[in-house]
Structure 1
C-alpha cells in the first residue's frame, strides 16, 4: 500500500451521511471526518468536514437541484476531498450495513449478488438498510474499481447462545430467520477492543456496554464476546429511544390493528418515528432539549427511559451471572451527566458505587475507587471500527498490498 492510498468509510442514514477518510496503513491515520445532514430537506442539507489539522469546512447543499440525496451528497463530498487531497487514491470504501441476517458474522466484499441479498433485509431495518445500500451504490458509481466492504451491525451478536437468539414461537419461524439479531454491533466491538487496551483484566470478565443515544441498547459481553443484547428481530426492541418505542407488549399491536384500524404502515410509522422520548414527551427526541424543558411530560419521558435502562442493566447482569465492569457510550452515555446519575443511583446491591464528582467532570472512570464494579465512560467510534475491519479484510484477502487494478483516484 502506497503512502498516497486512502480508505473511506461511509455510514448512510435516512437523512445523513457520515464519513471518515483514513490513510491506508496499519496506523490508520485519520485525515478527515464529518457528515452531510438534512438529506431530503430542501432547506437544511449541509456538509460538515473536519480535517486532521483542525481546519473545518461547512457547505450548504440547498442549491442542488431537487432534494439532495445520497448520490448528490457523495458528489459534493468527493469534490471537497479532491481539493484537499489531490491525486490521492481511494483503494477501499467500508460501509456500515445495519442488517446482515443470520449468515454474516464478519465483514465481506460487496458485489451485485450480495447487494440484492442484503436488500431482502430492508423490512427488518426500514430506517437504515435502504439508506445503507443507497450509500453503497453511490460509492460504487464514484469508485467503480475500489474494494467495497460491508460491515454488519448484527455480525458481532452471532456468538449468542440459542436462548438469547430465539423467541418462544414454533421452531419453523426461527429456521426462517425470525430470531433476535441484536444491533449496534460495530459500536460494541469497538468498545470491546478499546477496553482490552484500557483494562485488560476486566475485559476478560463480565461486562455490560450501554450504547445510549438516539438509538439505544445494551450488550452483555463475556471475555469480549456478545452473549446477549436488548435489541431483537428489529431495532425497535429493548430500551426506549429517541423516536422508537423499545419493549412493547405485542398485544398492543393487535389492539391497534383490530380496535384502532391502523395499517401495518401506520403502525410502523408510529413505532419507528413517533414513539420513544419524542412520543412520551410530546416535545423532542433529544435528551438535551428535554432536560432543559422543565415540563412534567419531559421529566416523565426521561424517568421512563432511566427506569427501563435500569431494568435492562439488571437483566444483562443476570445473563452474565454478575458484573465486573459497566461501560457507558453513545451521545447520552458519554454526555448526559444527569441521566447517568439517575441510571446508577442506589445500585450498591449490584456492586456499583458512583463517584458524583467524577460523573460531573465527565471522567473516564465515574465509579468510586472502592466500587467493586468499574464504571467507565468511553467514546465510541463506529467509523474507526469500519476502517479497522476493512484493513483486516484487505490484509486477509490480499496480503499487505493491493494490486493496481483495485485502485481508484479521487480525480
Structure 2
C-alpha cells in the first residue's frame, strides 16, 4: 500500500471524490440517516480499502508533531489486528476472528507497526505483526502486497521501515539467503538509459524495469533504513547518479534521489496521468519525494518541492483527508519545516480535526508553540496556540496506499 490496481482506485474515489462518506460494511446508519463510521477512526470516507493505512499515517504524523492521539484512536488501530499478527485494510467487525475474507496485507501491517512502534507501549502488538511479516517474506528477500504475491519495491520498502521502527535490523531478516535489501536493489535501474537511477515498482512481463517515482521515493527512504517518518540526512552536494562501486543500498538511495531531483527540477512537483489524460500535479508522490530527498541529502535538497507543496497542496489535502494531511506533516518533519505554519496552514490542526480530539500536546510541543507564537507577535501574548495503482485518480496521490503505486512511469 500492483496494490494500486482498481481496488485502490475505488479507495481514492471514496476518499477524494465523494461528497458524503459511503457506508462501510458492518456500519449502521445514525439516527440522522448519515452513515456511522467506527469510533476512533480518522476521516469520513469508507475505510474499506484504506482504514488501517490512513489511521497509521495519521497517528504517526501526530507523533512527529508532539501530539498525543486520542486513546480511542490508538485502540481502534490495535483492535484491527488479527490473531496471527497481521492487519487487513479494514475489518468492519473486529470482534470476530479473521478469516480468508479479511485479506491481510503487508502494507497495512507494516504501516501499523511503524505507527504503534513510534507511539510506544504496544510491544506485544508490534512483535506479533513483525513476526507475521517475517513469515510471509518472499524467497527473494522482499514482500508483495498480498502474502505469496511477487515482491514489489513499495511493499518491500514499507516493510523495511517497519522492521527498522520495531528495532529489527532489516539486513538480518533473511529468506532463501536473501535480505530485504537484496530484493530492493533488484528494482533499482542503472544510471544509463531512460529513468536512470530510479526504482521500478516491479519488472514488467518482459522482465524489464521502468522508472516509477512513487517506488523511487519509497525505495530511497528504505535503502537508508528509515520509514515513513524519516529524518533529514546529512547535508551534501546535489545527488548525482553513478554506477561506480557496485550496487549498495547507499548507492541506490543516492541514485534514486538524483532521479527525483531531476524529476521535480522544472516545475517543483511530480506529475501523473491516467492513459489518455493530461498530466497533472501529483501531490502525494511529491510529498513522498520531499521526504526521500531530505532523508538522502538533507533538507536543502528538498527545498523546491517543499515550497511548491506549501503553495499548492492545501486544497488537495482538504479534499483528500487524513492521509494527505499526514503526508504533508511527514514532509515537514523530514525537512525541519513547521507543520503548524506550512504555507500559512496549520497542518497539525487540520489533521487533528479529521479524527477524535487528541490528548493534551506534549510539554515540549507546547513550549515550542508558545515560543513561536511569541516571536510572531513580537513577544506579545494572545497569539494563536499550536495544536497536529494503475487506477490512480488522475493527478491526485494520497501516499503509499492511495497515490502512485502503479505500473506506469511517473515523473
TM-score of the superposition, structure 1-length normalised?
0.27
Larger Rg: 1
More helix by share: 2
TM-score of the superposition, structure 2-length normalised?
0.27
More strand by share: 1
